[in-house]
């Protein structure tokens, strides 16, 4: 806790002013003024935090505040988190929050307005208020390239009946510096989210001091930097190679020979631990959880979007009825044509169903426990539709009956498709098996 010099209240980091501000008397203070790093002649490597851990999933977040945390961000459980003190390694840099909670709620709500089939709870203001500011640990790689390079190239032009080809020996020197190629250093923060929520502008990085965390939480770094070194160097190399090939003087040339990270003398000069700001919210439904995140620097929204089956079916029916009536007014559909159309629709929905089931199985390693209702009706509809079309019974009743069954099949299959879509757009409840003990014990 950071104590107000004026009234003794709690100072929290205030986003608009980028200063510490007192909750009671609005006194402002410089975050760096509270750093005891300057005292003592040696560099302080640790700082004290309260560790909050979830009794349900084992997820951990830390804070410089001691007030109780009442829900878990990772699994969405509402439960008082266990707390204890621990010393954490200081990151070197931090990008302080630029987007306030109000900005974040506005950006999220604007996005959800377009998500008409999302469950209502995701748009409920009370729920949206549960956005929590969390600093996520990242590794920032500083990569250099200093090396001569050479490539072969040709350029051809046509003159009359001749094609004239010039050969070139392209030589150059590369001197590149990549500052702050960043990679998510926390195993509890899904890499798929951290990639989508990027980029962060590393020009906003400031020297870390614990006071920036006041009023916020932080996740801890538990993935070693080495894990990302190759990736960072390859990214730098790819980018430079593209730049070299795209040089205006080389335009129209057919360049042969290739450059790799080694040819450019790509080297990681330094890796810094940093913290980047994320507004984070979780929605728990049964055994699944969905995350909504907002980049705390740029305001970019990345969210899992489950679909409410009831809303979707109502919406599609409301749309299908007028379309159907319109079709009937424009073209007089023969009962046999109608049956063919609906049978084709049933077949299409079945194909989509199987494609999606395949993706879900790949992602979740699901076993096929039961056959879905949609699938049974779809197969029945297909057999009936084809059978009736081949047999060509005299009475129209058969065609209409077949068409109705096919449409039912389409709806049942769509319901199952949404069910699987929701599995894809949400996550399993996390289970962190951190063994508890202090890292530096
Ligand atoms: Zn005060
Ligand atoms: Zn939890």
CB-CB contact of 27 with 33 (8 Å):
no
Report CA 321 to chain centroid distance, whole Å.
37
- What tokens were used for 319? 């749309």
Phi-psi region of 309 (alpha: psi -120 to 50; beta: other; left: phi over 0): alpha
Residue 250 CA to ligand 2 center (angstroms) comes to 55
Which residues are within 8 A (CB) of 316 and not within 5 positions of it... i.e. 6 or more apart? 411, 414
At residue 122's C-alpha, the angle toward residues 64 and 415, to 5°, is 135
Strand ranges (E), 160-265: 162-184, 206-207, 217-218, 254-256
Rounded to a whole number, what is the largest CA-CA distance in the chain?
A: 99
Residue 57 CA to ligand 2 center (angstroms) comes to 4
- What tokens were used for 223? 């993935």
* The residue to which tokens 């063919």 are assigned: 340
Residue 28 CA to ligand 1 center (angstroms) comes to 8
Residue 272 CA to ligand 1 center (angstroms) comes to 35
Domain residue limits, the chain:
309-425
At residue 170's C-alpha, the angle toward residues 166 and 175, to 5°, is 160
Residue 25 CA to ligand 1 center (angstroms) comes to 4
DSSP secondary structure, 276-306, as one string = EEEEEEEEEETTEEEEEEEETTT--EEE---
As beta bridge partners, residue 148 has: 173
Residue 96 CA to ligand 1 center (angstroms) comes to 22
Which residues are within 8 A (CB) of 12 and not within 5 positions of it... i.e. 6 or more apart? 2, 20, 21, 23, 214, 215
Lowest-confidence segment of 106-110, 147-151, 386-390, 429-433 by average pLDDT: 429-433
Which residues are within 8 A (CB) of 430 and not within 5 positions of it... i.e. 6 or more apart? 57, 59, 74, 75, 188, 289
For residue 204, count other CB atoms closer than 10 A to its CB: 15
Closest ligand to Cα 289: 2
Q: How confident is the model at residue 135 (pLDDT cuts 50, 70, 90)?
A: very high
> What distance in Å separates the CA atoms of residue 43 and residue 39, rounded to the nearest whole number?
9
Residue 81 CA to ligand 2 center (angstroms) comes to 8
Closest ligand to Cα 28: 1
Neighbours of ion ligand 2 (CB under 5 A): 54, 56-57, 59, 72, 74-75, 77
Closest ligand to Cα 59: 2
Residue 11 CA to ligand 1 center (angstroms) comes to 7
> What distance in Å separates the CA atoms of residue 217 and residue 280, rounded to the nearest whole number?
10
Residue 14 CA to ligand 1 center (angstroms) comes to 13
pLDDT for 51 equals 93
Residue 4 main-chain phi, psi, to 5 deg:
-65, 130
Closest ligand to Cα 431: 2
Please write the tens of the pLDDT for every residue from 1-24: 789 989 989 999 999 999 999 989
Q: Report the percent of the chain where pLDDT is more than 90.
A: 35
Closest ligand to Cα 73: 2
- What's the alpha-carbon Rg for the chain, to the nearest Å? 30
Q: Report whether pLDDT(62) > 90.
A: yes
Q: How confident is the model at residue 365 (pLDDT cuts 50, 70, 90)?
A: low
Residue 194 CA to ligand 2 center (angstroms) comes to 19
Q: Report whether pLDDT(44) > 60.
A: yes
* The residue to which tokens 């990736």 are assigned: 231
Strands 427-428 and 46-53: unpaired
Closest ligand to Cα 23: 1
Residue 19 CA to ligand 1 center (angstroms) comes to 13
Closest ligand to Cα 27: 1
Higher pLDDT, 295 or 389: 295
Per 3-state DSSP, what percentage of the chain is helix, strand, and coil (rounded to 5)? 35, 30, 35
Alpha helix stretches (DSSP H) within 296-395: 309-330, 335-364, 373-391
pLDDT for 52 equals 93
Residue 289 CA to ligand 2 center (angstroms) comes to 10
Residue 7 CA to ligand 1 center (angstroms) comes to 4
End-to-end CA distance of the chain: 23
Residue 3 CA to ligand 1 center (angstroms) comes to 8
As beta bridge partners, residue 182 has: 140
Closest ligand to Cα 26: 1
Instruction: Compute, in degrees rounded to 10, the torsion defined by CA atoms 349, 354, 356, 361.
Output: 160
Q: Report whether pLDDT(131) > 50.
A: yes
What does the pLDDT average to over 223-242? Answer: 91
Residue 74 CA to ligand 2 center (angstroms) comes to 5
């Amino acid at each position: 806790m950071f104590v107000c010099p004026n009234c003794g209240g709690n100072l929290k980091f205030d986003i608009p002013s980028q200063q510490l501000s007192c909750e009671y008397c609005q006194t402002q203070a410089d975050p760096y003024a509270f750093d005891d790093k300057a005292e003592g002649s040696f560099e302080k490597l640790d700082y004290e935090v309260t560790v909050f851990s979830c009794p349900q999933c084992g997820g951990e977040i830390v804070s410089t505040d001691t007030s109780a945390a009442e829900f878990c961000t990772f699994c969405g459980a509402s439960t008082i988190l266990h707390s204890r003190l621990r010393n954490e390694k200081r990151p070197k840099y931090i990008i302080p929050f630029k987007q306030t909670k109000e900005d974040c709620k506005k950006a999220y709500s604007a996005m959800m307005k377009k998500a008409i089939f999302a469950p209502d709870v995701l748009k409920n203001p009370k729920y949206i208020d549960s956005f929590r500011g969390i600093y996520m640990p990242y590794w920032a790689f500083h990569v250099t390239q200093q090396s001569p390079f050479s490539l072969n190239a040709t350029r051809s032009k046509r003159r009359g009946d001749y094609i004239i080809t010039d050969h070139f020996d392209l030589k150059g020197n590369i001197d590149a510096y990549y500052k702050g190629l960043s990679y998510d250093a926390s195993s509890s923060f899904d890499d798929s989210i951290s990639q989508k929520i990027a980029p962060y502008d590393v020009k906003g990085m400031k020297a870390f001091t614990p006071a920036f965390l006041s009023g916020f939480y932080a996740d801890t770094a538990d993935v070693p930097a080495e894990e990302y070194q190759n990736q960072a160097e390859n990214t730098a190399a790819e980018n430079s190679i593209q730049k070299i090939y795209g040089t205006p003087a080389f335009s129209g040339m057919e360049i042969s020979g290739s450059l790799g990270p080694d040819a450019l003398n790509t080297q990681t000069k330094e890796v810094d631990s940093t913290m980047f700001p994320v507004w984070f919210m979780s929605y728990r439904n049964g055994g699944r959880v969905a995350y909504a995140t907002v980049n705390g620097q740029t305001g970019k929204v990345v969210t899992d979007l489950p679909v409410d089956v009831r809303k979707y079916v109502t919406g599609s029916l409301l749309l299908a009825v007028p379309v159907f009536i319109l079709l009937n007014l424009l073209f007089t559909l023969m009962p046999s044509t109608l049956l063919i159309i609906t049978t084709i629709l049933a077949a299409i929905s079945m194909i989509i169903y199987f494609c999606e089931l395949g993706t879900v199985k790949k992602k979740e390693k699901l076993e096929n426990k039961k056959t879905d209702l949609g699938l049974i009706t779809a197969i029945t509809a297909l057999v009936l539709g084809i059978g009736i079309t081949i047999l060509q019974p005299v009475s129209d009743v058969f065609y209409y009956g077949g068409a109705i069954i096919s449409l039912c099949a389409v709806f049942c299959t769509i319901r199952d498709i949404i069910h699987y879509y929701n599995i894809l757009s949400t996550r399993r409840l996390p289970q962190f098996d951190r063994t508890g003990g202090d890292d530096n014990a």
